[in-house]
Amino acid sequence: MRQRSQDLRLRFDFNNMMSEYVGKEQGITKAQLKANSELCKKAFETVQENRGKGMMGWSELPYNQDQVVADILETAKAVRKSCKYFVVLGIGGSALGPIAVFQALKHLHYNDLKDKARKGPKFYVEDNVDPERMLALFDVIEPEKTIFNVITKSGSTSETMSQYLIIWDMLKQKFGERAKDHVIATTSMQSGNLIKIAKKEGLKTFYIPDSVGGRFSELCPVGLLPAAVLGIDIKKMLKGAAYIDKLCNKPDYTKNPAMAFAILQYLAFNQGKNVSVMMPYADSLKYMADWYCQLWAESLGKAVKKDGSPAFVGQTPVKSLGVTDQHSQVQLYTEGPFDKVVTFIAVDGYRGSVTIPDGCEEFPNVNFLCGHTLNELIDTERRATEYALTKKQRLNNTIYLPEVNEFTLGEFMFMLELATAYIGEMFGIDTYDQPGVEEGKNATYAMFGRVGYEEKRKELESAPKQSKDYIC
Amino acid sequence: MRQRSQDLRLRFDFNNMMSEYVGKEQGITKAQLKANSELCKKAFETVQENRGKGMMGWSELPYNQDQVVADILETAKAVRKSCKYFVVLGIGGSALGPIAVFQALKHLHYNDLKDKARKGPKFYVEDNVDPERMLALFDVIEPEKTIFNVITKSGSTSETMSQYLIIWDMLKQKFGERAKDHVIATTSMQSGNLIKIAKKEGLKTFYIPDSVGGRFSELCPVGLLPAAVLGIDIKKMLKGAAYIDKLCNKPDYTKNPAMAFAILQYLAFNQGKNVSVMMPYADSLKYMADWYCQLWAESLGKAVKKDGSPAFVGQTPVKSLGVTDQHSQVQLYTEGPFDKVVTFIAVDGYRGSVTIPDGCEEFPNVNFLCGHTLNELIDTERRATEYALTKKQRLNNTIYLPEVNEFTLGEFMFMLELATAYIGEMFGIDTYDQPGVEEGKNATYAMFGRVGYEEKRKELESAPKQSKDYIC
């Protein structure tokens, strides 16, 4: 049965952000929202004007990739035929999107399925340089049946390039000239090392537009290729993104869910809510929270505004999982400091149902569960947690997905990208840079003796020696 | 080679919490610490006095389980022989410890290993009631080769008992009288439903002391049985706990690492650091951060002090992973609000080494990595991140583990349990209750029509209806 787009429309419910529901002391008022409608309008207009320009290439990804998608689908088909293991080498934005979409749309124990049931390659994303992790990977793959997708736009990401060096050396030793058949590069078309390496070695290559930053890259080949290799309908993902984009084509927060999300978080942050919890009630969406954490943290955690004045803004995003973390974090959420906004993600329809059968008739404290479904239980617990938080005057809101599929994920991710763009404008910061990671990168280069970092090395060597008094 | 305990001693380095290193504006001063030595002493003494009493049964677990351990080891041996899948049914404290220890001490792709290499049952922890998750589990296990360990102290945890009902029904249908051979119960000896059910059905049972709460239960049969089934040396875990316990037998924060951790976080919280990031630089310790998140959040997130006055305290714990989250969260940590303490976990020696081979000779920006090991890279990046945070006046400290093994994990967990007990006393709160989760539980019961919750149901029904104005 073909579903209509409007039946798959996500909904954003922010009743429990408002003073009528969560109380005057913590809640946001209608008057406040109205007073900020000009701010919303300005943010909206700036984002609109900059679409496709500078680092806002991401906004056009739902529309300008027909050719790319065709190429990806062709490659994916061949990969699915030829390999048993598909390994992404990437970190940050090159890993979080692929992981999140994989978890959302494939079997929850995908790699554990027998080949026949899995119907596609086993999937690994190597987003760390822990030596134990690399050794563990070699224990479970067969190189002759493996394709590695090395993803880095700049080609200078130390972690990914280290992995590439290790993998390439292994492939060369094993397969000689045929090594290149085991690697696909996803990188910048114009600049950086990886594109040069790819050309030299003759690797199949997909391109990351220079105007698309890592954390906004899931809907370009970074995310689309792994998804397609897994048999995920990437056209539908892009359609979902385009659908929500159209829905968000006005500044009015009562009609534009991305704007509503942005202005509410903005006001909440200014009222001391420096923590943003993302809490999906679905195992499939667990890593969507991780994806959100990068988007929100790296885009908004900034020390300086565009005009040069100090900012020091940015909520700390926290990933949580319903109902699991009710037994870990909800005590803090209901009773701790008034410093959070909790965003629930609810799913209207799960892709399966389990009934709790009769049993334990002598134990009414257990037996009351019988006859209900797990579907009812997880949804009831979400509503109960929402109720408990609201009663304790804790700000919360809910993003509803009619179901988890390619279309709704496209909506979800694009909506949050838009929201990030809006709130970045409200804060007056550069949403797309990440100057704060340079210091650590440079210190690493210096310690590794990279040419050009001699000054930094001197600086490090002259740092005050640690005191033994402060070690125990 | 037998290692000496002192060679496995963990170290706590808090140089970068101090004003000498992180700057006067944010840092903690020696004078502050001295001024609070009486507070430390009082917290220490109260914790000492209460050892083994009330809900402080956890403090004696390293010493009073000889009999229990013997029983566990015998059972584990039989389980390892008879089953191919070992499934924990539990949530919160009944899941986080087992997951964390599994991840820390077993192969990072354990379930993906061939039977011969794995040498023990596949391991699943089912800590949610998502129907898709339950259906996914059924796709990958063979019930006739599976043992389920159902863990709930009270026997009234809705999630775990729902899972039990589903599993028991399935087992009964398949195996009739032999169903009981597939279930091990871990629960209270005296009270609750599960012990009654276990007796009625004749289940093998292990006991959770009534004086041990969920989040402090990893070192009792809750954690020890799954660990032993996985072939982990549980005696060594308990020895590590006892070792650090002895090290912490004085109130002086310069000698007691748990006290140092507690007083520093306490002072930091009072200076506006309401976020506590736990960032291990090892994939093996990834879920130790989750375990810590429950311990810290649920113990310290409290609205009321023991004397009845308002508290509203508790840092929000955040799990992060080095180096992975350098590409996701560190931008925020270095440039966002001054609202965090970052706790790094460093590992002196990884259990394997990978050298980055020669290659990319034409590309000096890549080639500088060659000849180094991943071990050097991950450790250098940790130190570089520490340097960058410190330079930007961001409070951070580091727990060093000489290596990841049973002994050091025992130390690590017990140290943080002690630190939690100390800081709870400093806040003046009840560290061991969780009143904030009751409201949500009761609302769930009411919505499920459980007898005795009619009043709550009425309350829910009379809650203000949501406004459509606040949905888009």
Which residue of chain B is at minimal alpha-carbon distance from A439?
A: B388
Record: contact A112-B140, CB cut-off 8 A: yes
Residue B326: how many CA atoms within 13 Å on its side-chain side?
A: 31
Cα A269–Cα A274–Cα A276 angle in degrees, nearest 5:
95
Q: Which amino acid is at A413?
A: M
Q: Does this chain's domain B5-54+237-427 share its CATH topology with B57-234?
A: yes
Structure tokens at B386: 């520490």
Give kind and range of the element (H or E) at residue B369: none
* Residue entry with tokens 């943003």: A276
Q: DSSP per residue over B249-267, as a string?
A: -SS-TTT-HHHHHHHHHHH
- Name the β-bridge partners of B135: none
The pLDDT confidence band at residue B6, using thresholds 50, 70 and 90, is confident
For residue A13, give the nearest of A323, A346, A349, A273 by alpha carbon.
A346
| DSSP three-state, residue A213 | coil
How buried is residue B418: exposed, middle or buried, by Cβ count under 10 Å (0-12/13-18/19+)? buried
Q: In this structure, are residues A105 and A404 in contact, taking their beta carbons and an 8 Å threshold? A: yes
pLDDT, residue A72, reads 98
Q: Distance, in angstroms, between A412 CA and closest chain B CA?
A: 13
Q: In this structure, are residues B386 and B398 in contact, taking their beta carbons and an 8 Å threshold? A: yes
Q: In this structure, are residues A444 and B397 in contact, taking their beta carbons and an 8 Å threshold? A: no
pLDDT, residue B2, reads 59
Q: Distance, in angstroms, between B213 CA and closest chain A CA?
A: 12
Structure tokens at A130: 């822990």
Taking only the tens place, the pLDDT of each residue in A240-261 is 999 999 999 999 999 999 999 9
Structure tokens at A153: 């736009």
Which residue of chain A is at minimal alpha-carbon distance from B168?
A: A359
Taking only the tens place, the pLDDT of each residue in B81-136 is 999 999 999 999 999 999 999 999 999 999 999 999 999 999 999 999 999 999 99
**Distance set, CA B14 to CA A88, B264, B396 (Å):** 37, 8, 7
Rg (CA), chain A: 24
Comparing CB atoms, the residue among B165, B274, B323 nearest residue A159 is B323
Give average pLDDT by consecutive 10-residue segment, chain A, 472 residues: 81 98 97 98 98 98 98 98 97 98 98 96 98 98 98 95 98 98 96 94 98 98 98 98 98 97 98 98 98 98 98 98 97 98 98 97 94 98 97 98 98 98 98 94 93 94 92 96
Q: Which residues on chain A are in Cβ contact (under 8 Å) with B294?
A: 327-329
Distance CA A8, CA B366 (A): 45
Record: contact A300-B336, CB cut-off 8 A: yes
pLDDT, residue A5, reads 84
Record: contact B316-A319, CB cut-off 8 A: no
How buried is residue B5: exposed, middle or buried, by Cβ count under 10 Å (0-12/13-18/19+)? middle
E-assigned strands of A178-235? 183-188, 204-208
Q: Which residues on chain A are in Cβ contact (under 8 Å) with B392?
A: 303, 436, 439
Structure tokens at A303: 């020390």
Record: contact B327-A122, CB cut-off 8 A: no
Taking only the tens place, the pLDDT of each residue in B231-243 is 999 999 999 999 9
Comparing CB atoms, the residue among A109, A134, A253 nearest residue B354 is A134
Phi, psi of B361 (to 5 degrees): -60, -30
Q: In this structure, are residues B287 and B352 in contact, taking their beta carbons and an 8 Å threshold? A: no
Q: Are strands A396-403 and A340-349 parallel, antiparallel or unpaired?
A: parallel
Which site among A6, A123, A472 would you substitute to test the B interface, given the most B Cβ atoms closer than 10 Å to its Cβ? A472
| DSSP three-state, residue B18 | strand
Residue A223: how many CA atoms within 13 Å on its side-chain side?
A: 33
pLDDT, residue B5, reads 84
Q: Which residues on chain B are in Cβ contact (under 8 Å) with A336?
A: 297, 300-303, 312-314, 316
Distance CA B331, CA B341 (A): 14
N-term to C-term CA, chain B: 65
Taking only the tens place, the pLDDT of each residue in B431-445 is 999 999 988 999 999
**Distance set, CA A326 to CA A119, A301, B469 (Å):** 35, 27, 29
Q: Is the confidence at residue B372, as pLDDT, over 60?
A: yes
Q: How many helices (H) and strands (E) does chain B have?
A: 19, 12
N-term to C-term CA, chain A: 65
pLDDT, residue B448, reads 92
* Residue entry with tokens 């978080």: A265
Q: Tell which wins on pLDDT, A7 or B1.
A: A7
Record: contact B363-A437, CB cut-off 8 A: no
Q: Which residues on chain B are in Cβ contact (under 8 Å) with A467?
A: 15, 18, 20
Distance CA A431, CA A178 (A): 42
Cα B222–Cα B224–Cα B225 angle in degrees, nearest 5:
80
| DSSP three-state, residue B35 | helix
Record: contact A363-B193, CB cut-off 8 A: yes
pLDDT, residue A98, reads 98
Phi, psi of B324 (to 5 degrees): -45, -55
Say which CATH topology domain B57-234 has: Rossmann fold (3.40.50)
| B441 carries an active-site annotation | yes
Q: What's the whole-number mean pLDDT along residues B348-362?
A: 97
Q: Would you call the peptide bond into A88 cis, given omega within 30 degrees of 0 as the criterion? A: no
Which site among B94, B132, B323 would you substitute to test the A interface, given the most A Cβ atoms closer than 10 Å to its Cβ? B132
Q: Distance, in angstroms, between B70 CA and closest chain A CA?
A: 30
| B327 carries an active-site annotation | yes
B120: left (phi over 0), alpha (psi -120 to 50) or beta: beta
H-state helical runs in A217-316: 221-229, 234-247, 257-270, 286-300
Q: Distance, in angstroms, between A434 CA and closest chain B CA?
A: 6
Q: Which residues on chain B are in Cβ contact (under 8 Å) with A442?
A: 384
Distance CA B401, CA B83 (A): 34
Q: DSSP per residue over B403-441, as a string?
A: E-SHHHHHHHHHHHHHHHHHHHHHHTS-TT--GGGHHHH
Q: Distance, in angstroms, between B290 CA and closest chain A CA?
A: 9
Record: contact A329-B293, CB cut-off 8 A: yes
pLDDT, residue B4, reads 82
Distance CA A410, CA B108 (A): 31
Distance CA A407, CA A247 (A): 14
Q: Which residues on chain A are in Cβ contact (under 8 Å) with B282?
A: 130, 132
Which site among B32, B294, B327, B456 would you substitute to test the A interface, given the most A Cβ atoms closer than 10 Å to its Cβ? B327
Give kind and range of the element (H or E) at residue A13: strand A11-13
Record: contact A131-B450, CB cut-off 8 A: no
Q: Which residues of A are catalytic?
A: 298, 327, 441
Q: Would you call the peptide bond into A323 cis, given omega within 30 degrees of 0 as the criterion? A: yes
Angle between helical axes of B406-427 and B286-300 (0-180°, round to 10)? 20
H-state helical runs in B83-152: 96-105, 115-118, 131-140
Q: Could you give the percent of chain B with pLDDT greater than 70?
A: 99
Q: Would you call the peptide bond into A313 cis, given omega within 30 degrees of 0 as the criterion? A: no
How many other CB atoms sit within 10 Å of the CB of residue A317? 25
Q: In this structure, are residues B366 and A445 in contact, taking their beta carbons and an 8 Å threshold? A: no
Structure tokens at A273: 């809510």
Taking only the tens place, the pLDDT of each residue in B18-45 is 999 999 999 999 999 999 999 999 999 9
Q: Is the pTM of this model over 0.95?
A: yes
CATH superfamily of A57-235: Glucose-6-phosphate isomerase like protein; domain 1 (3.40.50.10490)
Q: Distance, in angstroms, between B367 CA and closest chain A CA?
A: 9
Structure tokens at A396: 């919360």
Count of CB contacts below 8 A, A vs B? 485
User: Domain residues of chain A, as ranges?
Assistant: 5-54+237-427, 57-235
Phi, psi of A429 (to 5 degrees): -105, 170
CATH superfamily of B5-54+237-427: Glucose-6-phosphate isomerase like protein; domain 1 (3.40.50.10490)
Q: What's the whole-number mean pLDDT along residues B218-237?
A: 98
Distance CA A424, CA B101 (A): 40
For residue B129, give the nearest of A378, A404, A281 by alpha carbon.
A378
pLDDT, residue B257, reads 98
